[in-house]
Every structure is written in C-alpha cells, then in structure tokens.
C-alpha cells in the first residue's frame, strides 16, 4: 500500500491496478471511497485498454481476433511505482507477454495521483512505444461511499450536475449498448435510490456538464468529480450496495451491432508511433 498525504487529504494506492483504495479527509474525518465490500470487491479501478464490454468478449485487428475481458486488463495487473514526490505518486505499466497475447501493442501507461489541498487529480499518460498504430480507450471507475456516515440513508443523497441536462440514457443489453431512451428533462438534479441501477449502469454520451457533485439533503459534506474533456459518463452501483460510481470515460462499450473491428470501435483513440495521450480528472472532497 502506498500512502500520500498533506494537511487535508490522505490517500492510499495499491500497486495492483494502480488502484486508489482510500480517500480520507483529515478535516471531516470521513472516508469517501468505497472500501471494497462483499457487493463489489473494487474501489476505483482504471479501465484500459478498453472501456466496457466487448461483443463476445473479443475484437479483431487486421484480420486476427483477440479476446479481452470487460474493462481490459490494467485493473488486474501489478504496476511498478516509478516516482514518488511530496504531492504526487506515479505508477507504470508496460506491455508484457500476457498483455501481448490479448493486445498486440507496445505501450506505456503512467497513472499519477496528485494531491492539492482537498483535491485529488488523477492523470493518465498513455504512450505508444511500438512501431504501429495503437488503438485504446481509458476510463475511471471510482466508487464513493453513500452514505458517508452510518446514521444516514442512501436516499438522503443526490447527484448535482453543473449544467441543465437533456441527455438520453443508453440502455445496456448484456453489457452492450442497445438503444437510447429519453432520460433527463431539463434538470440538474438526480436523486439517488438503490433501485436507480436495477437495470445496470446509466450510460450517457452527450452530457453538457463537466462536473458532478455527490451531495446530501441534510448537510454540506460530499464529493465533486470534474471531468472536462471526457466524452462519456457512466453512473453505477452494485445491487443494494452503499456506494455510487461516477465514471468519466474516454471510450465506451460495444454496441449490439458492432462489427468488432477495434479501429472502427466507437470512442477508440488511435496513437501513432511515438505519440502519447494525456488526460486527467479531479475529485474534491468537502
């Protein structure tokens, strides 16, 4: 376990998956991150090199088929701790025999956690270290405790969007995008209930907002996720679990009608030889 702290925050990150597993405020004395209970054994996995489900758990590249599990392999692999400073910690994953068998590309993935006051910035740096084009997606999957204290109720909480939303929701069929239905109707407010995620995640492609706050009706404590530049968003919780995931994505699940060509996959990013891709989002606690 790797610890990083300042006068406001204390975070912990595992080498496995470079996964954030604690986000503790010294001011509020609250743990904001889900502590991997029986309902879901993760905290905040990093999704790479795909986001979401692939049709038939496979894709093809230049005529050859490859199998890959939902959300890719990075979340289950051991990263190396490549740098630690007073306010940042960086983990690195590179291709190896096990990745090349399912993802035939040379890459370097750096994940950096940076704390400033009550804010955590998560920085993704993806590099193509090979000699051919490299398709990939990357996304976040942090789960936040709901409720934040034991005497509260899940229904005391809501999600506050920073812009008025009219976006539709994309339904999932065995993890694949099927159709878009009407969802938001000129609202900035989404009450949380355990039933909200009974039909899997809420998936959005066209949100106007770039900030979502987890708030409580009875006090001012909560979390804000800032995700400027991320084109997709998922909201999810496991069945009857006391958390909510706010998931900014560069990438999205396959549709039921996909042709399986990774180069034509919706949301895929293609890096040429020697290129790298930088992206970040922030989490504020209050």
Q: What is the mean pLDDT of residues 108-114?
A: 98
| CATH label of the domain that carries residue 139 | 2.70.98.10
User: In the prediction, which pLDDT does 25 show?
Assistant: 98
244 vs 34, 88, 165, 179, 212, CA distance in Å?
9, 26, 19, 23, 12
Q: How many domains does one find in the chain?
A: 1
User: In the prediction, which pLDDT does 275 show?
Assistant: 98
User: In terms of residue numbers, what domain contains 173?
Assistant: 2-285
Q: pLDDT over 90 for what percent of the chain? A: 99
Q: What is the mean pLDDT of residues 198-209?
A: 96
User: In the prediction, which pLDDT does 198 show?
Assistant: 94
User: In the prediction, which pLDDT does 193 show?
Assistant: 98
User: What span, in angstroms and rounded, lies between the C-alpha atoms of 213 and 30?
Assistant: 16
User: What span, in angstroms and rounded, lies between the C-alpha atoms of 64 and 119?
Assistant: 44
pTM of structure: 0.97
């Amino acid at each position: 376990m790797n610890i990083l702290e300042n006068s406001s925050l204390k975070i912990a990150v595992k080498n496995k998956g470079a996964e954030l597993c604690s986000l503790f405020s010294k001011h509020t004395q609250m743990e904001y991150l889900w502590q991997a209970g029986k309902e879901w054994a993760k905290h905040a996995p990093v999704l790479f090199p795909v986001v979401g489900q692939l049709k038939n758990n496979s894709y093809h590249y230049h005529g050859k088929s490859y199998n890959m599990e939902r959300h890719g392999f990075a979340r289950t692999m051991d990263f190396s701790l490549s740098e630690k400073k007073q306010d940042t910690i960086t983990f690195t994953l590179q291709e190896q025999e096990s990745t090349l068998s399912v993802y035939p590309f040379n890459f370097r993935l750096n994940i950096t956690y940076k704390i400033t006051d009550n804010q955590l910035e998560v920085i993704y740096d993806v590099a193509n270290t090979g000699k051919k084009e490299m398709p990939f997606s990357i996304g976040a999957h942090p789960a936040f405790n709901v409720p934040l204290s034991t005497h509260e109720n899940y229904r005391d909480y809501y999600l506050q969007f920073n812009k008025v939303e009219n976006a539709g929701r994309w339904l999932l069929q065995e993890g694949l995008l099927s159709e878009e239905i009407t969802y938001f109707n000129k609202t900035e407010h989404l009450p949380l209930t355990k039933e909200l995620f009974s039909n899997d995640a809420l998936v959005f492609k066209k949100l106007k907002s770039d900030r979502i706050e987890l708030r409580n009706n009875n006090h001012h404590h909560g979390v804000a996720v800032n995700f400027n530049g991320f084109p997709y968003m998922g909201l999810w919780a496991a069945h009857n679990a006391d958390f909510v995931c706010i998931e900014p994505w560069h990438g999205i699940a396959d549709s039921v009608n996909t042709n399986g060509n990774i180069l034509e996959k919706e949301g895929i990013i293609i890096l040429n030889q020697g290129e790298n891709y930088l992206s970040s989002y922030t989490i504020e606690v209050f």
